[in-house]
Amino acid sequence: MSVSGNLMDFLDEPFPDVGTYEDFHTIDWLREKSRDTDRHRKITSKSKESVWEFIKGLLDAWSGWVVMLLIGLLAGTLAGVIDLAVDWMTDLKEGICLSAFWYSHEQCCWTSTETTFEDRDKCPLWQKWSELLVNQSEGASAYILNYLLYILWALLFAFLAVSLVRVFAPYACGSGIPEIKTILSGFIIRGYLGKWTLLIKTVTLVLVVSSGLSLGKEGPLVHVACCCGNFFSSLFSKYSKNEGKRREVLSAAAAAGVSVAFGAPIGGVLFSLEEVSYYFPLKTLWRSFFAALVAAFTLRSINPFGNSRLVLFYVEYHTPWYMAELFPFILLGVFGGLWGTLFIRCNIAWCRRRKTTKLGKYPVLEVIVVTAITAIIAYPNPYTRQSTSELISELFNDCGALESSQLCDYINDPNMTRPVDDIPDRPAGRGVYTAMWQLALALIFKIVITIFTFGMKIPSGLFIPSMAVGAMAGRMVGIGVEQLAYHHHDWIIFRNWCRPGADCVTPGLYAMVGAAACLGGVTRMTVSLVVIMFELTGGLEYIVPLMAAAVTSKWVADAFGKEGIYEAHIHLNGYPFLDVKDEFTHRTLATDVMRPRRGEPPLSVLTQDSMTVEDVETLIKETDYNGFPVVVSRDSERLIGFAQRRELILAIKNARQRQEGIVSNSIMYFTEEPPELPANSPQPLKLRRVLNLSPFTVTDHTPMETVVDIFRKLGLRQCLVTRSGRLLGIITKKDVLRHMAQMANQDPESIMFN
């Protein structure tokens, strides 16, 4: 059998590692696209041969939709289980249900026949720990016992979470969105979306949210959904053998994650498109929509909150907003932008300190200390003691006739006869003023503690704490505007739209606008943020206030720095991520960036027909490059193509095993015909099939602005620099990132990974 015949077999039926990439390497998007086109062409031509091949072709075409269905079902189920478990374990810190210990406080009182409407939070079946242990519900000793048990439960949950992450799945920590953005841009992080990560992240997410730490489950749910996507794509060869196609599935999975996190399927699709995806063809848009729809439907079927809603803080308002209110809405946008900037700067400084000092060596101790401080300060204040989702729910709520919250403790007019939904503005009672200063303290506490919590070695989302900060600020502004309108309704700004006895101002709306502004300030989301918030409230008429706040917060935050929190963490970790939003305006040329530079050894190249197997093996051993340009000869330096390091290693290894006569001094050639060799020389090795005959090239005078654009839009790993067909050097993605860092006066060595 001929040499080329053997190699054709080797490449047509590759063994496991061919076409795959090593850990912490970037994929070649153009190559993956070309491989998928070849595969599709082969399936189409085979489908005309027989009915069985036609059915196989149909199954291949439908496999994408099947994967989306499976992702939606699993992501929705896991989100429902997490919601139910968090609900129970959060209440477990305060007490237990006697009839069934697995019931949360609310479920326990639902099932009780002795619960009255006025005391719907109290029922004989639910007992606080002090009642259960020392038979006391009031008094100092009962309060201290409940306080201590609250702290102990919080510490237990946090310790279990950080221990599980540390021992079983180190990649389960953090939000996961910066890494998912990097993976979707073409970077390989093995194990980041693995089965262990999925299992541990799901379990520890329940523990950390229940512990009362200032973090949310929404960001990590995107990571969980992407783990589901990675698992199901590995079951279909169409996705498991093509890293480019796999990333299309992961983009759709990210949409499903946001869909179940906020009950916002359309917002999820837009979030994937705007925030995390790098390559998002129209086909992926439809599939993302389908995955998000299935995930939302699954969560709705589980109904974790018992209110037929997908999230805890769904609200409906009955009062329209007025033009004069745009001013406080824009002010909340300014606050959101300033908070976003402050948070990003402080959090990145703290995370950098964690990386560069001894602090990073004690992740368990750090989590325990932060949990203890959070629990000790949080318990006395009712707004920090309750779960953050419940807090946001209370702040978003409109004060109806049946509300028992302190925030709704207004002084009622005894002569009022109005329908329940349309309660006029009223003077604030003592409860509202108490709630205001408690909210002010809670706001300061949340702002400070979230800076230290985000980035610890536990699953930690940022959406909910950011929304809580904005909702607290917004509710306080809303109550202020409401009281101003009530007491000064004759002022010119209120005269036209706020008559006495009218329901003019909705403080809950201000909380919602503030939440959107703060989330926008931290993440720099705009379109997807407004759609998510609109889907949360179901109110189309509040889109303008939300848009005004989101745009203002982005403008204000961008004035201090273009990076959102996820981009900042990508740069902190040194991931090779080329952000589409970054502009490169410097007037450098390809020749300034390419390697080798002056004074450096010449470029390592392969010649087309004059190197032996031993020469190539020595070159591979002595260098750590991902691939080598192939030239006609060292004298002419005329470029022929590019060979990947990994495929060269596999080709030589396979040829030694399968082909007779291949020895260390066998000549390797990349041409169609073998070179002329002496009669007694060993059998040559043909490797034309591992050669990329159309590597991407630019001339040495190409502006770097164009080169950066090419790397971004085509997802290149490397680009060869030529002049009149003669090879001069090479530019890799890492070189581009280092050059961009250098031009921005940053440390170019901060780009750590290949």
**Short-list 689, 645, 569, CA closest to 175:** 569
CB 76 within 8 A of CB 228: no
Please say which residue of 253, 269, 302 terminates a domain: 302
Cα distances (angstroms) measured from residue 573 to each of 222, 243, 670: 20, 23, 40
Asked whether residue 230 falls in the same domain as residue 360, the answer is: no
CATH code at position 159: 1.10.3080.10
Q: What pLDDT does residue 101 have?
A: 84
Asked whether residue 540 falls in the same domain as residue 601, the answer is: no
Asked whether residue 268 falls in the same domain as residue 407, the answer is: no
pLDDT tens for residues 546-576? 999 999 999 999 999 888 999 999 989 888 8
Asked whether residue 539 falls in the same domain as residue 609, the answer is: no
Q: What is the mean pLDDT of residues 462-474?
A: 95
The confidence band for 597, taking pLDDT boundaries of 50, 70 and 90, is confident
Of residues 359 and 420, more confidently modeled: 359
- Alpha-carbon dihedral 452, 458, 464, 468, rounded to 10 degrees: -30
Helix (H) or strand (E) holding 34: helix 29-46
DSSP three-state, residue 531: helix
Asked whether residue 524 falls in the same domain as residue 565, the answer is: yes
Asked whether residue 606 falls in the same domain as residue 739, the answer is: yes
Q: What pLDDT does residue 499 have?
A: 66
Parallel/antiparallel/unpaired status of strands 697-699 and 718-723: parallel
**What is the total count of domains within the chain?**
3
Q: What pLDDT does residue 181 have?
A: 94
Q: What pLDDT does residue 19 have?
A: 57
**Short-list 580, 586, 581, CA closest to 554:** 581
Asked whether residue 517 falls in the same domain as residue 605, the answer is: no
Q: What is the mean pLDDT of residues 195-212?
A: 95
Q: What is the mean pLDDT of residues 390-405?
A: 80
CB 272 within 8 A of CB 255: yes
The confidence band for 752, taking pLDDT boundaries of 50, 70 and 90, is low
Q: What is the mean pLDDT of residues 507-535?
A: 92
In a domain, 60, yes or no: no
Tell me: pLDDT of 3 over 50. Answer: no
CB 289 within 8 A of CB 296: no
Q: What pLDDT does residue 5 have?
A: 38
Q: What pLDDT does residue 66 have?
A: 95
In a domain, 308, yes or no: no
Beta-strand runs (E) in 596-708: 606-607, 611-612, 627-631, 639-644, 667-669, 685-686, 691-692, 697-699
Q: What pLDDT does residue 11 have?
A: 40
Dist. CA 662–CA 659, nearest whole Å: 6
Q: What pLDDT does residue 699 have?
A: 94
Of residues 134 and 247, more confidently modeled: 247
Q: What pLDDT does residue 14 have?
A: 47
In a domain, 112, yes or no: yes
Amino acid identity at 419: P
Q: What is the mean pLDDT of residues 680-704?
A: 88
Tell me: pLDDT of 457 over 70. Answer: yes
Tell me: pLDDT of 724 over 50. Answer: yes
In the block, tokens 């703290």 appear at: 350
**Short-list 640, 648, 730, CA closest to 694:** 640
Q: What pLDDT does residue 424 have?
A: 65
Of residues 99 and 164, more confidently modeled: 164
In a domain, 749, yes or no: no
Give Rg (Cα) of the chain: 31
In a domain, 41, yes or no: no
Asked whether residue 89 falls in the same domain as residue 218, the answer is: yes
Parallel/antiparallel/unpaired status of strands 726-732 and 606-607: unpaired
Residue 521: give the domain boundaries.
Answer: 323-411+421-572
In the chain, the percentage of residues whose pLDDT exceeds 90 is: 48
DSSP state of 417: -
In the block, tokens 């699993």 appear at: 74
Among the residue ranges 167-176, 279-288, 575-584, 698-707, the one predicted with the least confidence is 575-584
Asked whether residue 449 falls in the same domain as residue 360, the answer is: yes
CATH code at position 707: 3.10.580.20
Neighbouring-strand partners of residue 669: 686
Alpha helix locations (H) across 424-578?
430-453, 463-487, 492-495, 507-523, 527-537, 543-560, 565-573
Neighbouring-strand partners of residue 710: none
Q: Which residues contact 671 (CB under 8 A, 6 or more apart)?
A: 608, 609, 688
Q: What pLDDT does residue 129 have?
A: 87
Examine residue 596 and say whether the peptide bond preceding it is cis (omega within 30 degrees of 0): yes
Among the residue ranges 143-157, 282-296, 584-598, the one predicted with the least confidence is 584-598
In a domain, 35, yes or no: no
In a domain, 584, yes or no: no
Q: What HEC string does 137-198 produce? A: CCCHHHHHHHHHHHHHHHHHHHHHHHHHHHHHCHHHCECCHHHHHHHHCCECCCCCCCHHHH
Q: What pLDDT does residue 370 have?
A: 95
Asked whether residue 404 falls in the same domain as residue 547, the answer is: yes
Q: What is the mean pLDDT of residues 450-454?
A: 94
Asked whether residue 298 falls in the same domain as residue 329, the answer is: no
Dist. CA 194–CA 227, nearest whole Å: 6
Asked whether residue 242 falls in the same domain as residue 382, the answer is: no
In the chain, the percentage of residues whose pLDDT exceeds 70 is: 92
Highest mean pLDDT: which of 40-49, 135-144, 304-313, 325-334? 325-334
Tell me: pLDDT of 682 over 90. Answer: no
Query: How high is the mean pLDDT of the chain?
Result: 86
pLDDT tens for residues 42-86? 998 888 888 888 898 888 889 999 999 999 999 999 999 999 999
DSSP three-state, residue 412: coil
The reported pTM is: 0.89
Question: Over the range 124-151, which residues count as b (16 or more CB within 10 Å of their CB) and which as e?
Answer: ebbbbbbbeeeeeeeeeebbebbbebbb
Among the residue ranges 7-11, 596-600, 646-650, the one predicted with the least confidence is 7-11
In a domain, 167, yes or no: yes
